[in-house]
Structure 1
Amino acid sequence: MHKKLPFQSPWRVVMMAKNEGELLENNYLIQNLNDPSAIADESWIKPGKVLRETTLTTQGAYAAIDFVAEHNMQYIMFDAGWYGDEMKNSSDATTVTLDPKRSKGPLDMEAVTAYGKEKGIGLILYINRRALEKQIDEVLPLLKKWGVAGIKYGFVRVGDQDATAWMHEAVKKTAQYEMIIDVHDEYRPTGFSRTYPNFLTQEGIRGDEESVPNAHTLISMFTRTLAGASDNTVCYYSSRVNTMGGSHASQLAKTVCIFSPLQFLYWYDKAPLAPVKEDGLWGDTKTIGNEPELEFFDSVPTTWDETKVLEAEIGEIGVIARRKGNDWYIGGINGGSGTKRVVRFFFFR
């Protein structure tokens, strides 16, 4: 650590409670150790539900925008590949240069943002830290000009003083251009989102991309999520759901059980009218259907007014109720074996 005197060291926190559920109900402690919001006008910061557009094409984006507009979602997102190979230092995030391993295009970024604006839908763009660290001062004004609503930072460095300082400065700069943020991969929350609430969520969790069993999710639910929001990238039609030993019901429940102001739904799936992918490139996906239970994804909020943990046992079971206005949503996930529980709705008024 390198710092001129005098200086303050970071908080180190020990949380204690009677049970796992009480810890989760009081996880605001971490945020409260950070400074209040530094953003005077927060009206542009909008949480919501996100659909990743997997084809990286203009046609696919139009289809995704139409779908999310019809299903009470707020954003679409282009992930890695829109500006070239994310892992190459030579890839330029000030250009739309498709990675040929992921898409043949075409992709007209400004046409996509314009169509999204017509429909009231925002666009989030993924940028790997290799480009961000070199180009952030050029990228931010350009994305603002394009009409982009947010950035998903990828593979940021974590752990040391320099990495943390860069992250905090990048979040501040992004706020100046009124863009929201999702940080992916290893970064775990420290409560900095209280000071810069445009920093809506982060990964830092072994979510659905890792095909973890529900028992693991039930460990993360009462450990990792104590630190803050978790972008779990919720799958639905992907074969990962079967690999995880879960069910479509538990996938729906994750949107209540795992808090994230940005909820990425239908990870690896595509909108019904998106182009058919028969090119063999990365991104072959299932098409989203119209099963009646998907109305739950349509209606579920991403931020809440109150949380009650009804059942909690690390690795075994979690039943969580969350309130938005006058409406309560309840999600329950069990571990490796089936169980029957009596849930008491003592909190209803």
Structure 2
Amino acid sequence: MNKVFTLILAFCINLIAQQNYSLFSPDKKIEIKISTDEDVKYSLVKNGKVLIVPSPLSMLINNKTALGINSKAIKTETNSVNTTVSRVIWQKSKIVKENYNELKITFEGNYALTFRAFNEGVAYRFETTMDADIKINSEKFLVSFGGTYSVYFPEEGSFMSHNEQNYKYLQIDSINNKRFCSLPAVVDTKEGTLIGITESDLEDYAGLWLRGTLANSLEGIFPNYVIEENAKNDRDIEPIKRADYIAITKGTRTFPWRIFAITENDGDLITNDLVYLLSKPCQIKDVSWIKPGNVAWDWWNALNIYNVDFRAGVNNNTYKYYIDFASKYGIDYVILDEGWYKLGDVLSQVPEINVPELVEYGKQKGVGIILWVIWKSFDEKLDEALKLYSSWGVKGLKIDFMQRDDQAIVNYYWKTARKAAEYKMLVDYHGAYKPSGLNRTYPNVLTSEGVKGLEHCKWSSDITPEHCVTLPFIRMFAGPMDFTPGAMNNVQVSSFKPMFQQPVSMGTRCQQLAMYVVYESPLQMLADNPTNYYREPECMEFLSQVPSVWEETKVLDAKIADYVLLARKSGDTWFVGGMTDATARQLTIDFSFLDNKNYTAQIWQDGINADRNGNDFKMITKEVNKNTKLEISLAPGGGWVARVFPK
């Protein structure tokens, strides 16, 4: 009898200790299951299909305390939200729908885990409530999949990286633990479902990366805190010794969100807003001065203008030429990239440049000036530089070559975003890690790189049409991307070769034009040189009218790494853009997204010989309405773009 009683008692105690929770998305299609036995584990189910099997999550702090292991839940709280968020700076839309269910589990030991389930995916994060600062030794982030899946894997070779990679399509169980990638990464279940993995609200912590395990799982890794560096030059500040911890941080705080976007429609990754919604709201009181726009950029085209009576290069005559071009076509800004200051001293202009003169010249013509700086040199004279640039009337900064996302560098982003806002300056981060929500908290951060963009055409053959139609589904899922489109010399894949001084793009002219509709960047570059644009008035008719921000986005047809077709709205005008990989395609545009008015579609399409000469395009006009279904043809590496406006 006593043995029976003891067994029953032990069973009851085990039931109390092992608590199981379920959280459903508002539409009930996604379920996240949480168990709190010896380890906290989570799993994910979509439409009854197990996508992620029970996977542990934990955090080791202060060399001894393991959050999420031998845990005891003491309280749960639930919440549901169904509202909308108005963006300060529009990106894919003016208004964002925010609809989720939330479960917060508080544990003994002064910590909690919060889970949110959206119709578009799920996320979780740790929260601590401890008096003193804490040391984060490690964080366990394991994703064990429910099948033999593959992944679009932006493989890296070092934590010191610009995060500019192609996406290798690999079977997950073939990736060993020596191979790792930056984020975002997208997992393909090969049964119609995609899982996008990234993070948001990354602050005072290190960025999340993923490595293989030679099993059907991916594991999080983090760059530990850097305690010794080697300055190889003005820009490459290389870690040579790291601590045995990720971060030392406040004891009372929330940690970054771990995000899983889940969709059975590839195009939904393009419109997914989880990174934005899970970031901190805007911290700038007056945002009236933040102006997105298009930019004439100098570096890609090597200042290689021609048919002028002065020597082209880093000098005021050349930049006045850029300003004149920008003014003629309603382009908002001109960037002065590398060369305007004496390297190592961001306060000293080279003799050939007079920034105040260029600012005044631009002001007369309605064009703002943005200055490029190396992050380290800028940091050394941060307040002096911002005060000086502000006195000149500079509108923004392009901060370059950070190449890291350990805690100190992540904090550098927050510091410079905040300080730039104090001086009413825009920011574009280059040599950067992926966006993780900072652009919502500080909307003066209009865009960032962290993408293998058009500049690589100058020295490699990596910017293929396939790469270009993969980016909207993966890198752009994280946030705005400064790909820098706009090449006016275009060749097919077989004819391409890298050229540093006079670069060309792979694919067609219309693919380059379509990027202005497909790629999101509130600060959008025109990468080629003004002389080349002047000789292309038909293309400039489009580029002078395409906005850099959007009120609404509708994905019409899309398949990751193959093609994309979408429509974006600005005022009463719609812009439609389509791109394909190296395969020629026939696509159908269904204009049912239009209202009851009749519209004129001004169209730029691949020419009949674009499969041989990427420069070939044709400009036509058609009348369309909401009942129109238009068949379009895209050449290999091709594109199609239209401006659709009421009659």
In the alignment, residue 219 of structure 1 is paired with which amino acid?
T
Specify the alignment match of 1:20 in structure 2.
266
Letter of the 1:253 counterpart: A
Alignment of 1:224-243 (within 5 A): 224-238=475-489, 243=496
The 5 Å alignment of 1:31-180 reads 31-53=276-298, 54=303, 55-85=313-343, 91-97=344-350, 106-180=352-426
Shift of 1:238: 4.6
- Matches of 1:22 and 1:327, distance apart in 2: 23
CA distance, structure 2, for counterparts of residue 165 and residue 130 of structure 1: 13
Q: CA RMSD in A?
A: 1.6
Note the C-alpha offset of 1:230. 0.5
Matching of residues 291-330 of structure 1 within 5 Å: 291-330=537-576
The answer to whether the 8 Å contact 1:237/1:288 transfers is: no
**Residue aligning to 2:636:** none
Cα shift at 1:235: 3.4
Distance 2:337 2:452 in 1: 18
Per the TM alignment, residue 288 of structure 1 is displaced from its structure 2 partner at its CA by: 4.1
Q: 1:225 to 1:287 in 2, by over 3 A?
A: closer
**Which residue identity does 2:320 align to in structure 1?**
Y
Q: What SS class does the counterpart of residue 229 from structure 1 fall into?
A: coil
Percent identity reads: 33
**Could you tell me which amino acid in structure 2 is paired with residue 195 of structure 1?**
T
Q: Does 1:250 align with 2:511?
A: yes
Residues 208 and 240 in structure 1, CA contact (< 8 A), matched pair in contact too: no
Partner SS, residue 252 of structure 2: coil
Question: CA–CA distance in 2 between the matches of 1:291 and 1:96?
Answer: 35
> Is residue 29 of structure 1 aligned with residue 29 of structure 2?
no
Which amino acid is 1:250 matched to? Q
1:276 paired residue number: none
Aligned residues: 321
Contact 1:125 1:152 in 2 (8 A): yes
- What is the Cα deviation at residue 217 of structure 1? 1.2
Counterpart CA distance in 1 for 2:364 and 2:412 is: 35
Q: Distance in 2 between matches of 1:339 and 1:294?
A: 26
> AA paired with 1:93?
V
1:18–1:239 Cα change, 3 Å: closer
In the superposition, relative to structure 1, how do residues 337 and 252 fare at CA in structure 2: closer, same or farther (>3 Å)? same
Q: What SS does the aligned partner of 1:319 have?
A: strand
Secondary structure of residue in 2 paired with 1:14: strand
Q: Cα distance, 1:287 vs. partner?
A: 6.4
Q: CA deviation at 1:174?
A: 0.5
Deviation, 1:6, is 2.3
What amino acid maps onto 1:28 in structure 2?
D
2: distance between equivalents of 1:346 and 1:271?
37
Report the CA distance between 1:113 and its aligned residue: 0.4
Query: 1:316, CA displacement in angstroms?
Result: 0.8
Q: Relative contact order (alpha carbons < 8 A, sep ≥ 6): 1 or 2 greater? A: 1
Q: Is the 8 A contact 1:154 1:183 kept in 2?
A: yes
CA distance in 1, matches of 2:538, 2:491: 21
* Distance 1:157-1:133 versus aligned 2 partners, 3 A rule: farther
What is the rounded CA distance, in whole Å, between the counterparts of 1:8 and 1:168 in structure 2? 16
**Displacement of 1:200 after TM fit?**
0.3
Query: 2:359, 2:368 within 8 Å by CA — same for their partners in 1?
Result: yes
Change (3 A) 1:303 1:148: same
Query: Whose helix fraction is larger, Structure 1's or Structure 2's?
Result: 1
Provide TM-score, normalisation by structure 2.
0.48
Q: How does 1:262-281 map onto structure 2 within 5 Å? A: 262-265=523-526, 267=527, 269-272=528-531
State the one-letter code of the partner of 2:286: D
Query: C-alpha offsets along residues 185-207 of structure 1, whole Å, 9 cap, x if unaligned?
Result: 23210111111110000011111
Instruction: Structure 1: state its 5+ residue gaps.
Output: 86-90, 99-105, 273-285
Provide the C-alpha distance between the structure 1 equivalents of 2:529 and 2:277, rounded to a whole number of angstroms: 38
Separation (CA, whole Å) in 1 of partners of 2:388 and 2:404: 26
- Tell me the residue number matched to 1:223: 474
Match of 1:282 in 2: none
| Structure with a larger share of its residues in strand | 2
